[in-house]
Amino acid sequence: MAPSAEKSTNGTNGVQTKDRSNLIPFSSRLREGRALAQDVWSIFNAANLPSDCINLGQGYMNFAPPEWVKSAAEEALNAVATNHYSHPKGRIRLREAIKAHYEPEFGRTLDVESEILVTSGANEGQYSVFVAFLEQGDEVIMFEPFFDQYLPSVTFNGGVPVYVPLHPPSHGKHNSREWSIDFDELRRAVTPRTKMIIVNTPHNPVGKVFTRDELEKIAAIAEEHNLLVMSDEVYDSLVFDDNEHVRIATLPGMWDRTVTVGSAGKMFAATGWRVGWLIGPPSIIQPTLAATTRIVFCSNSPLQEASAVGLEQAKKRGFLKQQCAEYAERRQILTDAFDKMGMNYTNPQGSYFVLLDISNVKWPEDYPFPASVLGRGRDFRACWFIAMEIGVSSIPVSEFYCEEHTSIGESYARFAFCKDVDTLKAAAERLQKLKKFLV
Ligand SMILES: Cc1ncc(COP(=O)(O)O)c(C=O)c1O
């Protein structure tokens, strides 16, 4: 904990001065949830890597939102009302667009007043659900590897994360569906303090699209123990091949206990816009509205308007289908490169990440690693080595596991393919140089 009082120190001229650098003690909640630990994003940040390193680490696009969505944003900035506060529930135009887009997906009518809530990105929406529902000590089950933001969002609100790992197949090139859930393990993780379970499909970083059967089993556990289900479906428009995206909220009885999370950032290549949404029954949306109103009051107005135009026009323009096909092509560039190198990887069914098995990458014993990656999983060193020597950055997957389960993630590096084709082709070419470091 930071010192709470001023310390006397000796100034350069020998005069006693007060150290005022840590005058006000910060909250201990920052310690939990790894909020103070150096996070993986700052270690593998462009600023620390060679200037020409190709960034396949962070999951944001290096291309702009579609022109017609951008011009809707411009139009909104040029109007008056759209530059001011929106209703905390979200702009009605966006809520109507969400309703029209998702009603067929959920197979039910959605009430724009009580069942849809616009939030400042999926992140803030999820945070608001935790604020609204967690009591001190309530346990929240999350599958590992997990989207790293869940952890602090849970602990800041008094919750206790409980981890259930997804298990990769033992070896070889495989499909993301083969990362499996041990349902006995999941059942054992449930205690009388369990309040919530987070499901993320399509999954970051595995790319797994949970099957109907898996979701039915999770639903049965949620029903038996009266759990709230947070279904993070921000990659729902990126499901490849003939995989079926099943929404757990649509399974029998599940609507009443499920909140589904969406993101305009992922849908329209606009991650910095910070527009997301929650869909669920009034019993979940109303308390969450109360929380989000006191956190941000309302979300970014002009970009809500542009997101509404995005959703209104996406289907008739064939945009989402086309975008998904483009992502499938981007995925292929990476997986072809890994095949050519003879390396194993997880072929993702959805989202925009490929996990490369880096367990056979070997670097010189005396390789000069910085302190930030020493003492972390082996994957931290592998990703550092690949970034420095090959010129392509990726993210070590053990970051998305609790300490106890680090060894499961240590064999993988996450490569994001939300980048343009030329960038991916250049990365694919560079990655071939890794062959000489394989054992
Ligand atoms: C699984 C998952 N959930 C939520 C988010 C956050 O989405 P947003 O940018 O809309 O807050 C991300 C972003 O990377 C994600 O990968």
User: Is the shortest distance between the CB of 59 and ligand 1 below 6 Å?
Assistant: yes
In angstroms, the CA 194 to CA 133 distance is 12
The reported pLDDT for the residue numbered 170 is 83
- The reported pLDDT for the residue numbered 16 is 67
pLDDT of residue 1: 37
Q: Residue 178 corresponds to which tokens in the numbers above?
A: 């083969």
pLDDT band at 25 (very low <50, low <70, confident <90, very high): confident
Q: What is the CATH number of domain 67-314?
A: 3.40.640.10
Give the ligand 1 atom nearest the CA of 147: 1
C-alpha angle 249-252-255 in degrees, rounded to nearest 5? 35
At residue 5, does pLDDT exceed 50? no
Residue 232 CA: which ligand 1 atom is closest?
Answer: 3
Q: Does 262 sit in the ligand 1 pocket, CB within 6 Å?
A: no
pLDDT of residue 12: 55
Beta carbon of 122 within 6 Å of any ligand 1 atom: yes
Alpha-carbon distance values, 260 to 110, 125, 437 (Å): 13, 10, 43
Q: Is residue 67 over pLDDT 70? A: yes
Q: Which residue has the higher pLDDT, 124 or 28?
A: 124
Kindly indicate the confidence band of residue 245, based on its pLDDT and cuts at 50, 70 and 90: very high
- What share of the chain has pLDDT > 70, as a percent? 96
CATH architecture, domain defined by 29-64+320-437 = Alpha-Beta Complex (3.90)
Q: What is the pLDDT of residue 11?
A: 54
* Mutational test site, ligand 1, from 117, 149, 274, 296, max ligand atoms within 8 Å of CB: 149
Give the separation between CA 57 and CA 413, rounded to whole angstroms: 9
Ligand 1 close to Cβ of residue 263 (< 6 A) = yes
Instruction: State whether the beta carbon of 207 lies less than 6 angstroms from ligand 1.
Output: no
Å from CA of 263 to ligand 1 middle: 7
> Which pLDDT band holds residue 30 (cuts at 50, 70, 90)?
confident
Cα distance between residue 306 and residue 325, in whole Å: 23
Question: What pLDDT is attached to residue 9?
Answer: 55
CA 147 – ligand 1 centroid, Å: 8
Mutate to test the pocket of ligand 1, among 128, 147, 235 (most ligand atoms within 8 A of CB): 147
Mean pLDDT value of segment 286-313: 98
pLDDT digits (tens, 9 = 90+) for 120-159: 999 999 999 999 999 999 999 999 999 999 999 999 999 9
Q: Provide the token pair at 182.
A: 């041990």
Average pLDDT along the chain: 94
Task: State if residue 147 touches ligand 1 by the CB under 6 angstroms criterion.
Answer: yes
Which atom, in ligand 1's list, is nearest to the CA of 351?
16
Which ligand 1 atom is nearest residue 59's CA?
14
Instruction: Kindly indicate the confidence band of residue 3, based on its pLDDT and cuts at 50, 70 and 90.
Output: very low
Instruction: Output the six-digit token pair for 18.
Output: 């007060």
Residue among 164, 186, 166 nearest 176 (CA): 166
Cα 169 to ligand 1 centre (Å): 26
pLDDT band at 13 (very low <50, low <70, confident <90, very high): low
Pocket lining: 232 vs ligand 1, CB cutoff 6 Å: yes
Q: How confident is the model at residue 231 (pLDDT cuts 50, 70, 90)?
A: very high
Provide the pLDDT confidence category of residue 289 given band limits of 50, 70 and 90.
very high
Neighbours of 425 (CB within 10 A): 16
| Residue 265 Cβ contacting ligand 1 at under 6 Å | yes
Indicate which residue's Cα is closest to atom 14 of ligand 1: 59
Distance CA 278, CA 286 (A): 11
Query: Do residues 208 and 179 make contact, with C-beta atoms less than 8 angstroms apart?
Result: yes
Q: Quote the pLDDT of residue 8.
A: 56
**Other beta carbons less than 10 A from residue 217's beta carbon:** 16
Q: What is the pLDDT of residues 152-202, one digit of tens each?
A: 999 999 999 999 999 999 878 899 999 999 999 999 999 999 999 999 999
Q: Where are the domains of the chain?
A: 29-64+320-437, 67-314
**d(CA 22, ligand 1 centre) in Å:** 33
Distance 123 CA to ligand 1 centre (A): 6
pLDDT of residue 177: 95
Three-class SS of residue 18? strand
Residue 4 has pLDDT above 50, yes or no: no
pLDDT at 2: 40
Burial of 164 (0-12, 13-18, 19+ CB in 10 A): buried
Amino acid at 430: R
Give whichever of 12-16, 26-30, 320-324, 397-401 has the largest mean pLDDT.
320-324
Q: How far is the CA of 118 from the centre of ligand 1 (A)?
A: 14
Cα 191 to averaged position of ligand 1 atoms, centre (Å): 28
Confidence at residue 359, expressed as pLDDT on a 0 to 100 scale: 94
25: buried, middle or exposed (CB in 10 Å: 19+, 13-18, 0-12)? exposed
In whole angstroms, what is the distance from residue 36 CA to residue 21 CA?
17
Nearest by Cα to 117 from 312, 293, 314: 293
Rounded-to-integer distance, Cα 241 and Cα 350, Å: 9
CA of 97 to the centre of ligand 1 (A): 20
Mean pLDDT for 81-94 is 98
Ligand 1 center to 40 CA (angstroms)? 16
Structure tokens of 317? 């323009």
What is the CA(373)–ligand 1 centre distance, in A? 25
